Chain A
Amino acid sequence: MSVVTIILNILSIGIPFSVSLLLASLGEMFNQRAGVFNLGCEGIMSMGAFAGFMSAYFLQKTALGPYANWIGLLLAAGIGVALGLLYALVTVTFGAPQGIAGIGLQMLGTGVAGVLFRHFVGGVAGVPGLANLPIPGLVKIPYIGSVLFNMNPLAYAAFIFVPVSWYILYKTPWGLKVRAVGAAPRSADTMAINVRRTRYQALAVGGLLAGVAGAYLSLGQAKMFADDIVAGRGFIAVALVYFGRWDPWWILGGSLLFSIAQSLQLSIQVLGISFPYEFAVMLPYVLVILVLSFTRGSSTRGPAELGVPYDREKRI
């Protein structure tokens, strides 16, 4: 194998790996820009992965078969929104501490997905999942064509969503509202922006993206479901938001860096350089801790009121 093939190989595995992290992180970015820290992302992703898988699994042999994946995605998005709103009820309406609420949502989401999966499916079962959609013409470009233009439709959509979310966040009235309620909710309130409603909306968007990110894992990446399919990606996504300084482009960079590091580790194993595989599995988690340690300065660039429930009646 030449060096070029090895690199292309790493990229062609790594880039699709980044999609679920990217979607979940962008969702979490909207949450955090609105001032709400959602550690429950992991649980929402579990439910999304489960909803996507179940729909594909049970509909594949019915008349709806050809649309099973898309129905699964819609279902995952819907459940994501519902869980995002549940989280909003607990943290925005009741103003509960967000770190603990996130852990609660994580347990609930992973728990429900696990229980329903064991009851209705049980063992290992695969689904056809999303097929790759090579883009005619572009896929023929030497070297990069097969890497960049031979992914499934959801992956293209996710990458296109990076500039879209940048536009939403910085160039639309709603994006301004989101940033306002995260940076200075009291001022936003004075300007007749409904802080609670905006936070609810941001959490719904975040939940939607996390749900779709989960469905990508079960339909686009693993093409199966397991209890631990998300394996901490929800938490990594939250960490990537810090790393990505609450900006879509940086978040894209972060998720690519992460997933390419992971596929690098896979290809090292394939090349026959042997070391205990447990250490390979550890790598992304160690990387998160290192990244968080070296981005300490970025906390000053974060939304000022991140994690603080807004209390209109509080005297200052």
Chain B
Amino acid sequence: MKAKDRILYVVFVSLVAVVAAVGIGAIVLAILGANILQTYVVIFTEPLRDLFGITEVLVRAIPLIFVALGIAISFRAGILNIGAEGQIQMGIVAAAALTIALPDVPKVVLVPLGLLAGAAGGAAWASIAGYLRAKLGVNELLSTVMLNYIAAQLYGYLLRGPMIDPAELQTGSGTPQSVRLPKNAWIDRIIPGMRLHWGLALALVLAVLVYILMWHTTWGFKMRASGASAKATRYAGISVESCLLSAMILSGAFAGLAGAVEVMAVHRRAIEGISSGYGFTGVVVALFGGLHPAGIIPASVFFGIMLVGTDMTQRILSIPANMVSVLQGAVILSIIAAKMVINDPYTQEKFARKLKSFGKSRGGSSGTPHSGAPEAPRGGHKGGAGVTDVTEVGQ
């Protein structure tokens, strides 16, 4: 297949995938009796109307970048971490507990300390699943899901019990939340009056670091090798188990960091619902961004728009905000299906043939000879005769 045909093929398959994902959303909207086009327009343009909307999109994108970077590391290493939701909550707990305990430490020390505590909290929670997978062969998808449920309960217990704001008990309102973090632990906001904060800079720096780590260090190579082919990696003398464990821990650290940044920059106290699904959206973002930092950043912004946009449809069109979960599910299914089709040499070849015959029939009607004639023999391969050719295409 020629390079030009290949691009056309990728674009075509991606378009079909987009149509499928949008179509699933449209079916649900049709059942709701909503105006489908208007809803999509509101979701994707309304957040970008003014500066406030744009900053809110970025506020949502920041935790998504952190989480998705971690998930990309784990997926690349061959361990599917879908426990980011729980790891975020453990990061929030660790960061909040540490900074509340040390209110008098100067800001230059306390902010990094809080971030580190958050990362450590997330890493510790992830290490449970990592250890179980590496040592006992426990399926990490199941263990991380279960750890999400456990973390949610633990988080609720801590906010209602040991960590609750004493003022809540005095007034008797009993809202499950911690005391406000000390001012020295606050991450500053960039624009006065908006929630956009310097966590954005940290996220971008870490994206570059992850790229260097995964693609320009031996350690990163080991990770990617163990994900691509565990057998070959083991044969090369690399311990796949330790790769899995360290990828999981690093992945959890990123999720924990997301939690720490959220609590120190946006909410400034531990409350219920801070993580609000970032852990799962992060999985979609990581896949949508091709498990690569350069893709994850735009993907995070895109899903930030979607999160703010679905909030707006709830207010403007009274369409429930968990519409975002429908769209995310549809996006995951269509992305992974499209990826398989794109990498399938047989469909590629078939597409090239179709394209050729389409070109021919058009050429025939206008009476001019087909310009692509030299390639004709390749398009003519069928069945067994094409196999060697096709495997070359697949590389």
Contacts and interface: CB of A to CB of B under 8 A. Distances in A.
A281 B156 CA distance: 11
A301 to B, nearest CB: 13
A106 B329 contact: yes
Contacts of A96: 333, 336-337, 339-340
Contacts of B327: 111
Nearest to B34: A119
A267 B29 CA distance: 44
B237 to A, nearest CB: 25
B254 to A, nearest CB: 18
Interface stretch (B51-59, B135-143, B180-188, B356-364): B135-143
Interface in A81-101: 86, 89-90, 94-97, 99-101
Contacts of B346: 313
A239 interface: yes
B142 A115 contact: no
B283 A293 contact: no
Interface in B298-316: none
B146 A232 contact: yes
Interface string B145-160: 1110110011011001
Contacts of A107: 280, 284, 325-326, 328-329, 332
Nearest to B337: A94
Contacts of A235: 142, 145-146
B143 A111 contact: no
A114 B138 contact: no
Query: Which of A39, A100, A119, A242 is packed against the most chain B CB atoms within 10 Å?
Result: A100
A101 B332 contact: yes
B257 to A, nearest CB: 22
A108 B132 contact: no
Interface string B64-103: 0000000000000000101000000000000000000000
B28 A296 contact: no
A286 B28 contact: no
Contacts of A281: 153
Contacts of A286: 146, 150
Q: For chain B, what secondary structure do more than half of its interface residues adopt (helix, strand, loop), or is it mixed?
A: helix
A306 to B, nearest CB: 10
B157 A285 contact: no
Given A107-B280, A116-B31, A292 B157 contact: no
Nearest to A235: B145
Interface in B228-277: none
Nearest to B320: A118
A213 B367 CA distance: 63
A94 B340 contact: yes
A104 B319 contact: no
Contacts of B137: 296, 299
Given A90-B336, A116-B28, A288-B142, A100 B322 contact: no
A228 to B, nearest CB: 10
B323 interface: yes
A285 B150 contact: yes
A285 B154 CA distance: 12
B330 interface: yes
Contact of A115 (B154, B161, B284, B322): B322
Nearest to A97: B336
A125 B90 CA distance: 34
Interface string A269-283: 000000010110110
Q: Of B143, B160, B337, which is in contact with the most chain A CB atoms at under 10 Å from its CB?
A: B337
Contacts of B320: 114-115, 118-119
A101 B319 contact: no
Contact of A43 (B142, B280, B329): B329
Contact of B336 (A100, A119, A238): A100
A110 B138 CA distance: 25
Contacts of A110: 325
A227 interface: yes
A41 B298 CA distance: 31
Given A96-B340, A107-B280, A232-B145, A289 B132 contact: yes
Given A39-B141, A96-B337, A111-B328, A103 B82 contact: yes
Contacts of B82: 103
Contacts of B203: none
B110 interface: no
A278 B329 contact: no
A188 interface: no
A207 interface: no
Contacts of A97: 336
Interface string A109-127: 1111011101100000000
B138 A293 contact: yes
A13 B322 CA distance: 33
A315 to B, nearest CB: 8
Interface string B340-362: 11000010000000000000000
A238 B142 CA distance: 8
A116 B149 contact: no
A157 to B, nearest CB: 28
A86 B336 CA distance: 13
Contacts of B324: 111
A281 B149 CA distance: 9
Contact of A288 (B146, B280, B322, B337): B146
B123 interface: no
Contacts of A100: 80, 283, 287, 332, 336
A289 B143 CA distance: 6
What are the nearest 5 A-B pairs in CB distance? A108-B329, A111-B325, A104-B332, A107-B329, A111-B326
24 contacts: A101-B336, A103-B141, A104-B329, A104-B331, A107-B325, A107-B328, A107-B329, A108-B326, A108-B330, A110-B325, A111-B324, A111-B327, A112-B28, A112-B326, A114-B322, A118-B322, A239-B142, A242-B142, A282-B154, A285-B146, A285-B149, A285-B150, A288-B146, A296-B136
Given A104-B328, A313-B387, 5 more contacts: A100-B336, A107-B280, A107-B328, A108-B326, A289-B146
